[in-house]
Structure 1
Amino acid sequence: MMNQPIFHYQEEIDKLRDRFQFDFVSMALVQPAEDRFVLTWQYASGNINERYKRIVLHSGKGIAGIVFKTGKPMFIQNVNADIESGDLFNYPIIVAEQLKSLGAVPLWDGARVMGVLLVGYRAENRLNKASFDIFQEGLGTAFGAFHAKEVSQP
C-alpha cells in the first residue's frame, strides 16, 4: 500500500482562486453526525467573513447538499435571475458570501461523494457555462484524495 502525498486543501483552493480569478472558493466535506451525514464548509479562500464555518447542510439542502445528493455539478450564472429572493435562505453560502454567479462540483472518493468544491463571483454573469466547463477540465481528475469527475460504476 502506497502512502499518498499530503495534500494541502487550503493551499490548493487558494491556487484555484488565483488561477481562475474567482472571488470565492470553498470546499465542503461530509461530517458524520450520529449516523446522519451533514456537510460543513471546511476550507475557504476569498471569504468576506467567517460565517461559512457555521453553515451545516443536510443532503439535498443548499448548494453543497444538492451537489452531494445528486453527484452532479451545479451551475448558477445569475443568482438574482435564477433563485427567487424568498428562497435564498435555502442557500446560506450565497447569502453569507454575497455570491451572484457560481458553480459547484462533487468530489468523489471511489463511488461516493465525500465533498463539494464551490467557486463563485460576487458579480452577476461572471461565470458562464463555457468558463465553468473550462474550470472543471482544468481541475483535472484528482483533487487530493478525491476525484473531481464521476467515476464509472462497475
Structure 2
Amino acid sequence: MKNQPNYQYQAEIEKLRDRFQFDFVSLALVQPAEDRFVLTWQYASGNMNDRYKRIILHSGKGIAGIVFKTGKPMLIQNVNTDIESRDLFNYPIIVAEQLKSLGAIPLWEAARVQGVLLVGYRAENRLTQAAFDQFQEGLGREFGAFHAGEVGQP
C-alpha cells in the first residue's frame, strides 16, 4: 500500500467525528501477514480504551472484514435488534467500544479495498440510512490515499 506519508489520518478522523457528531470513528488498514491479509484498526477518535489496537480481523470476519471482503458499505442501525447477542463476539469493535448504531465504508486504492472507515454511536438507531448516505456524500470521493467509492463508479 502506498499510503501518502504526510497524510494525517488521525486528524482527519477527528474532523469527521466533530463534523458529523459521531461518538466513535476508526480506520482499519490492510496489513500483509504471511500470504494472508489481515485488517487492524490503526486510528481511532472517541475511543473508550485502546482495545481496538489489539483487534485483528480476517477477510469476512467482523465489520471491517465483511466490508473488506464485499467492497460494500455496511450499516447496523440497532446492534440490539440487528445482531444476535450470541454473535457479538464476531464483532469485537462493537463490544470494545459499546457501539449501538454504526456504519462502515470501504476505502479503495488501485481497484482494491485497502481500508475500512467505521463511524458509530453508543445509542441505538442514531445512524439511519439517510444519515449514513449523507455522511458518505459529505465524505467526498477522496480520503487520503484512498477513494471512498468503488473505482469506476460515478
Q: TM-score range by the shorter chain?
A: over 0.9
Residue aligning to 1:27: 27
Cα distance in 2 for partners of 1:34, 1:110 equals 21
**Percent identity at matched positions?**
84
Cα distance in 1 for partners of 2:53, 2:117 equals 15
Cα distance in 2 for partners of 1:130, 1:6 equals 33
Cα distance in 1 for partners of 2:142, 2:5 equals 12
Provide Cα deviations, 1:115-149, integer angstroms capped at 9, x if missing partner. Answer: 00000000000000000000000000000000001
Query: Amino acid of the residue matched to residue 123 of structure 1?
Result: A
Cα distance in 2 for partners of 1:114, 1:139 equals 17
- The runs of 4+ residues in structure 1 deviating greater than 3 Å are none
Cα distance in 1 for partners of 2:134, 2:6 equals 26
Cα distance in 1 for partners of 2:101, 2:150 equals 23
Residue aligning to 1:118: 118
Matched, 1:7 2:7: yes
Cα distance in 2 for partners of 1:143, 1:45 equals 16
Change (3 A) 1:35 1:5: closer
Cα distance in 2 for partners of 1:25, 1:117 equals 7
Name the TM-score, length of structure 1 as normaliser.
0.95
Cα distance in 2 for partners of 1:5, 1:28 equals 17
Provide Cα deviations, 1:16-73, integer angstroms capped at 9, x if missing partner. Answer: 0000000000000000000110000000000000000000000000000000000000
SS of equivalent to 1:130: helix
Segments of 5+ residues of structure 2 without an aligned counterpart are: none
User: How much is the aligned-residue C-alpha RMSD, in angstroms?
Assistant: 1.1
In the TM superposition, what is the alpha-carbon distance from 1:152 to its structure 2 partner?
Answer: 1.4
Change (3 A) 1:5 1:127: same
Query: Amino acid of the residue matched to residue 40 of structure 1?
Result: T
Segments of 5+ residues of structure 1 without an aligned counterpart are: none
Change (3 A) 1:43 1:5: closer
In the TM superposition, what is the alpha-carbon distance from 1:5 to its structure 2 partner?
Answer: 7.8
Cα distance in 2 for partners of 1:82, 1:110 equals 33
Matched, 1:82 2:82: yes
Query: Amino acid of the residue matched to residue 144 of structure 2?
Result: G
Cα distance in 1 for partners of 2:118, 2:60 equals 15
Residue aligning to 1:109: 109
Cα distance in 1 for partners of 2:113, 2:152 equals 13
In the TM superposition, what is the alpha-carbon distance from 1:99 to its structure 2 partner?
Answer: 0.1
Cα distance in 2 for partners of 1:65, 1:148 equals 17
Residue aligning to 1:44: 44
